[in-house]
Amino acid sequence: MSIVVPFAPRQAGPRAGDVAPGDYPPRPVRAVYTVKEVAALLSLSVSSAYALVRAGQIPAERLGRRWVVPRSRFHAWLDGASGELPATGTDAPRGGW
């Protein structure tokens, strides 16, 4: 005697090439970044990113006890900050060796 498994049609979903793998259903765009995410985007250490946030160099808001960086303000700042941040992380040039 053989076992017959009934065929169940697949549910409709995205076709190959319609959506990138892992993006179904698409995730909503978040309104804010964490300081850790900003640090990764700017290739900074987390402590350097927090220092820039506290100093007001990176636009951020306190939300309770944590800092959040509004996505739109961050990207507007980033588009206009091409050269405002010193390369050494300080306002003074590095001393000679």
Task: Compute the distance between CA of residue 78 and CA of residue 84 in angstroms, rounded to an integer.
Answer: 10
Q: What is the pTM of this model?
A: 0.57
Domain map (residue ranges) of the chain? 32-79
Please tell me the number of Cα atoms within 13 Å of 25 on its side-chain side. Answer: 3
User: 41, 72, 73: which is closest to 57 by C-alpha?
Assistant: 73
Given a cut of 60, is residue 96 above it in pLDDT?
A: no
Cβ–Cβ under 8 Å, residues 82 and 76: no
Beta pairing partners, 34: 68
Pairing type for strands 61-63 and 32-34 reads unpaired
Predicted confidence at residue 11, as pLDDT, reads 65
Statement: residue 4 has pLDDT above 80? no
pLDDT at 73: 93
Encode pLDDT of 32-87 as tens digits: 999 999 999 999 999 999 999 999 999 999 999 999 999 999 999 998 865 555 54
97: pLDDT strictly greater than 50:
no
Q: What is the pLDDT of residue 80?
A: 87
> Which pLDDT band, with edges at 50, 70 and 90, does 30 fall under?
confident
Query: Do residues 61 and 53 make contact, with C-beta atoms less than 8 angstroms apart?
Result: no
